[in-house]
């Protein structure tokens, strides 16, 4: 699902909550009546994604690799469910992963992170786990509104936390990791 679709879903949810708070609708009543529709929409999305992968279109993006160069240049967004990606034997120059409801597990431990690569990971509800290759020259910034952040040995807990760790020199891999409600764990 494209980020613009995820943004549209957040806007609609925000408007529904606002209308509920203002007394124009009863959001609880709407959810108790129409929650099965969410399951139907998620099912349709899964079927469409599966068919798209089988037909060959967009299959490189879902596999986490670029068709042209073998270098991974991809964006991945998800609305519900966990995201698990393993980048073994891949060269990474750019990667974004976004998730609304669910955990994100990214394993770069057996990948080649190219000099000046950029990795951006964000979630609204869930935990983000990132595993890096040993001795990676990286500049990592982690931020959240509520939860724990652990970047290697550095740890912060609580509300509105931000940790910056690493090497800001030329050639460093840049990680920007953020979650609103959840934890961040970066290890090697």
Residues 130 and 168 in one domain: yes
Tell me if 60 is assigned to some domain: no
- The DSSP letter of residue 56 is S
Query: How far is Cα 167 from Cα 145, in angstroms, rounded to an integer?
Result: 24
Residues 85 and 125 in one domain: yes
Question: What does each of the 188 residues of the chain score in pLDDT, given as a tens digit?
Answer: 455 566 777 787 888 888 888 888 887 777 777 778 877 877 777 676 655 544 444 433 333 333 333 444 478 888 888 899 999 999 998 999 999 888 999 999 999 988 888 999 999 889 999 999 988 888 999 998 888 999 998 998 888 888 998 877 777 899 999 998 899 999 98
Retrieve residue 9's tokens.
């879903």
Residues 87 and 45 in one domain: no
Residues 50 and 75 in one domain: no
Residues 46 and 92 in one domain: no
Tell me if 63 is assigned to some domain: no
Tell me if 96 is assigned to some domain: yes
Q: Which of 55, 77, 95 is the last residue of a domain?
A: 55
Tell me if 22 is assigned to some domain: yes
The CA dihedral of 101, 125, 112, 3, to the nearest 10 degrees, is 60
Query: How far is Cα 181 from Cα 103, in angstroms, rounded to an integer?
Result: 11
If one counts the domains in the chain, the total is 2
**Reported pTM:** 0.63
Residues 27 and 75 in one domain: no
Residues 144 and 179 in one domain: yes
Strand pairing partners for 62? Answer: none
Residues 134 and 174 in one domain: yes
Tell me if 132 is assigned to some domain: yes
Residues 23 and 89 in one domain: no
Tell me if 101 is assigned to some domain: yes
**Containing structural domain, residue 136:** 68-187
């Amino acid at each position: 699902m494209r980020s613009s679709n995820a943004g549209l879903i957040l806007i609609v949810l925000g408007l529904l909550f606002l209308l509920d708070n203002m007394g124009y609708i009863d959001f609880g009543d709407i959810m108790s009546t129409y929650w099965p529709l969410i399951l139907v929409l998620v099912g349709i999305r899964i079927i469409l994604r599966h068919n798209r992968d089988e037909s060959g279109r967009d299959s490189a993006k879902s596999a986490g690799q670029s068709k042209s160069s073998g270098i991974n240049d991809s964006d991945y967004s998800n609305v519900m469910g966990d995201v698990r990606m393993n980048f073994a034997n891949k060269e990474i120059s750019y990667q974004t992963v976004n998730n609304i409801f669910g955990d994100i597990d990214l394993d770069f431990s057996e990948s080649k992170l190219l000099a000046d690569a950029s990795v951006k990971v964000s979630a609204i509800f869930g935990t983000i786990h990132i595993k890096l290759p040993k001795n990676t020259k990286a500049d990592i910034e982690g931020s959240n509104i509520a939860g724990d952040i652990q970047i290697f040995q550095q740890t912060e807990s609580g509300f509105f936390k931000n940790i910056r760790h690493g090497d800001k020199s030329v050639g460093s891999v840049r990680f920007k990791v953020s979650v609103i409600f959840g934890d961040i764990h970066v290890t090697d």
